[in-house]
Structure 1
């Protein structure tokens, strides 16, 4: 299968590192003009520099904007009013130890609300701008980067899991709203991945315990994701492969779906 996105413009939020960066590179490799996004200008500039070296024939631009706020979303929209592809990737999580219900009870309102603003409302705000324009053109792709935590709620990250489940509801509802228009909306559900947040956490755990990063990852899987079938962390490129496919012409019959790249963590067939 050869995916060709020449002539398409793609926005990938939270794309200076991790899964978003891998998705931006995959889309650029397929020929799309890519707009990367990060919270600070320094990170955006460095990511653009690296990507322009990797893809000298491509068109790479960047917009610094904090998408946890309506103002940040409006700033991005003002600079990039039109797009054919929107990958709602930006998000974060608070990695905590779990020792019982008291840990959940101690999660403050600002953590719940902060994660909801970034992980969910960023995608809502951008989708409600770009989707009508895609419908008007008769073609478009919107993809939400959710998580296996959306359907396999983690007690150690309950607030995060809530936002990822919300993304599934939003993505399915938007897919229903644009049915028959040539525009598709899907969600991709990664499992444990060597992304910036979880990868850095594994490096820290390895250093604190005097073990290798691979041993730290195995300890994480055994303790928290023992149902993994691949029995390792996925790479960001492996997740990006699914994202790029969901953005392609070849995925024209896939909409309203939750596409799992979870390494088999979730123990049901659907």
Structure 2
């Protein structure tokens, strides 16, 4: 499907792996130019090389930045402007599992660190790119939330709270700036094949004396019984929805939350 993204400038955070990298790949395939960012310069360089070799040469650059650093985020927006022009599309996939465990065992530092990355990080990035989108009267913002935002799990409460905050942020931004042509939406995946869930499953396998595959299967049975396909999702399945939301094909989709969760969330 031609999404009409030829020549559009996209900024993708959390782009060195997982959903961010897959979203960048999808946007490049649709003809967009992409500024890819993440914290680790080495991993980011490898991701850019992979995308350039896959057909994105000359249309993708990597700019290391930490979304918890306001000055670095502003510098990122400036570098994007100098390279391809002001971003017209933002895909914010940067995030971390953060502090986990029993609620009573997680201290203030754990909460604040998780919220700073997963929620306030999004605030910083949107704030850096929104003025140019408003001036152009065309923009697309997609915030990567999670099933955890509406179906919280007791051992991941800081992450769940941050992702719920992203849904509220997305809805509020859509109301504030939709009239200016800036369309903001959220995408909420569940149990997708990413480095984050790989690490979770390796830890589970070690704790239970299982193989990696057995850990995935037992997790599905015991922790995510609502996932109908009985497998982890792929990053490509999430990226396809993200790319569509970035296009004029979704020009009447505003302030929505798209669940790419295999049916994990129990409610409609």
* Structure 1 contact 6–32 (Cα < 8 Å) conserved: yes
Query: How far does residue 209 in structure 1 lie from its aligned partner after superposition?
Result: 4.4
CA deviations 1:203-242 (Å, max 9, x no partner) are 3433554544332112112222112222211011111111
* Structure 2 contact 99–111 (Cα < 8 Å) conserved: no
Per the alignment, residue 250 of structure 1 pairs with 249
* Structure 2 contact 51–57 (Cα < 8 Å) conserved: no
Question: After the TM superposition, which of the residue ranges 156-165 and 195-204 deviates more from structure 2?
Answer: 195-204
Query: How far does residue 68 in structure 1 lie from its aligned partner after superposition?
Result: 1.6
Per the alignment, residue 83 of structure 1 pairs with 87
Per the alignment, residue 30 of structure 2 pairs with 30
Query: Mind listing any 5+ residue stretches in structure 1 that lack a counterpart?
Result: 98-102
Alignment RMSD: 1.6
Counterparts in 2 of 1:65-84, with a 5 A limit? 65-81=65-81, 82-84=86-88
Per the alignment, residue 157 of structure 2 pairs with 158
Query: How far does residue 57 in structure 1 lie from its aligned partner after superposition?
Result: 4.7
CA deviations 1:21-66 (Å, max 9, x no partner) are 1111111111110111110221121111111111155501011011
Work out the CA distance in 2 between the residues paired with 1:71 and 1:95: 25
TM-score (norm: length of structure 1): 0.92
Counterparts in 2 of 1:52-67, with a 5 A limit? 52-67=52-67
Counterparts in 2 of 1:106-255, with a 5 A limit? 106-206=105-205, 209-255=208-254
Report the 3-state secondary structure (helix = DSSP H, G, I; strand = E; otherwise coil) of the residue aligned with 1:144.
strand
Per the alignment, residue 41 of structure 1 pairs with 41
Work out the CA distance in 2 between the residues paired with 1:211 and 1:58: 45
TM-score (norm: length of structure 2): 0.93
Per the alignment, residue 260 of structure 1 pairs with 259
